[in-house]
């Protein structure tokens, strides 16, 4: 079974530029999560999709961040314009949530550096 | 009060000893609990989950859940240097508003000294 795929793995941009991240979850997983993890901290949920609908985006800075999940599969997360404090690892995870299985499986992450 | 709390560490244990990692949570309605291991520069990987009070063992790992006291712990027996990592506790707060809400703690850094 293929794992969660993310790209790019690394990105360096200047502040005020825009950037987009892509995630392909494990096949059949209904729920997809985007997390921001700043060095030394735990993952912070940005947005949670169930199939292609948003169920939680309460911590997403909506003035600069946006996300979509097309056809309930792939997802993209965009930042426009980026700020220095957006430097972090962006993790995508997915879970099956069928039959009470709520374990999350993470992709390798995208390390974003904003200069 | 944070929803999920962990001591950030570092927790240092000698090789071969038992490492004990603890996590407390605030919501009594929490239903399931997960431990993830995160090596430096890598993404979290699931190592254990537990739903019921008591102990759950998997190899050298034992998860312990006490819902009355609202804590969950992870014991690592015969600790190895390769166990050195940050251990994240995650709590499923249950079905709320139509979806399952999971919250992560900040993690405990474990160092196993050879």
The DSSP code sequence of A50-102 is: ETTEEEE-TTS-TTTEEEEEGGGS-EEEEESS--GGG-EEEEEEEE--SSS--
Confidence of residue B1 (pLDDT cuts 50, 70, 90): low
Query: Are B99 and A50 inside 8 Å of each other by CB?
Result: yes
Of A43, A48, A102, the CB nearest to B44: A43
- B43 with A48: Cβ contact below 8 A: no
Nearest CA in chain B to A3: B45
> What is the average per-residue pLDDT within A16-44?
94
pLDDT, tens only, A31-76: 999 999 999 899 999 999 988 889 899 999 999 999 999 888 999 9
Residue B98 pLDDT > 70: no
Has residue A100 got a pLDDT over 80?
Answer: no
At residue B86, the pLDDT reads: 97
pLDDT in tens, B25-39: 998 888 889 999 999
Q: Which residues of A touch B97 (CB under 8 A)?
A: 55-56
Rg (CA), chain A: 13
- Residue B93, pLDDT above cutoff 80: no
Closest CA relative to residue A81, chosen from A15, A2, A33, A20: A15
Pick the more confident residue, A16 or A2.
A16
Residue of A102, A107, A109 lying closest to B102 (CB–CB): A102
Give the pLDDT of residue A99. 59
pLDDT, residue A86, reads 97
* Range B22-51 average pLDDT: 93
Which pLDDT belongs to residue B72? 96
How far apart are alpha carbons B23 and B92 in whole angstroms? Answer: 13
Region B107-112 average pLDDT: 96
Alpha-carbon gap: B114 to the closest alpha carbon of chain A (Å):
24
CA gap B94, A11 in Å, rounded? 35
How sure is the predictor about B91, in pLDDT bands with cuts at 50, 70 and 90?
A: very high
pLDDT of residue B48: 92
Query: Could you check whether the bond before residue A114 is cis, i.e. omega within 30 degrees of 0?
Result: no
For the stretch A79-94, pLDDT in tens is 999 999 999 999 999 9
Dist. CA B114–CA B112, nearest whole Å = 6
* Mutation for B interface: A32, A103, A109, A111, most B CBs within 10 A: A103
Residue A1 has pLDDT above 70, yes or no: no
Chain B residues with at least one Cβ partner in A under 8 Å? 8, 32, 34, 42-46, 49, 88, 90, 92, 97-107
Q: How confident is the model at residue B97 (pLDDT cuts 50, 70, 90)?
A: low
Residue B16 tokens read as 């071969």
The pLDDT value recorded for residue B95 is 66
CB contact under 8 A, B92 and A102: yes
């Amino acid at each position: 079974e293929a794992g969660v795929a993310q790209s790019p793995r690394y990105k360096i941009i200047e502040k005020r530029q825009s950037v987009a991240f892509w995630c392909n979850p494990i096949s059949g997983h209904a729920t997809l999560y985007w997390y921001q993890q700043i060095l030394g901290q735990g993952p912070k949920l940005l947005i949670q999709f169930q199939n292609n609908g948003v169920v939680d985006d309460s911590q997403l800075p909506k003035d600069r961040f946006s996300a979509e999940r097309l056809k309930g599969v792939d997802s993209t997360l965009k930042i426009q314009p980026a700020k220095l404090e957006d430097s972090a690892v962006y993790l995508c995870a997915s879970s099956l949530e069928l039959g009470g299985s709520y374990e999350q499986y993470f992709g390798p992450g995208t390390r974003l550096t904003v200069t | 009060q944070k929803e999920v709390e962990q001591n950030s560490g570092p927790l240092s244990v000698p090789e071969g000893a038992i490492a004990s990692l603890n996590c407390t949570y605030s919501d009594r309605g929490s239903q399931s609990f997960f431990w993830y291991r995160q090596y430096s520069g890598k993404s979290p990987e699931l190592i254990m989950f537990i739903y019921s009070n008591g102990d759950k063992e998997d190899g050298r790992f034992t998860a312990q859940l006490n819902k009355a006291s609202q804590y969950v712990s992870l014991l690592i027996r015969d600790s190895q240097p390769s166990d050195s990592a940050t251990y994240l506790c995650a709590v499923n707060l249950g079905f709320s508003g139509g979806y399952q809400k999971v919250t992560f703690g900040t993690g405990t850094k474990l160092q196993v000294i050879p």
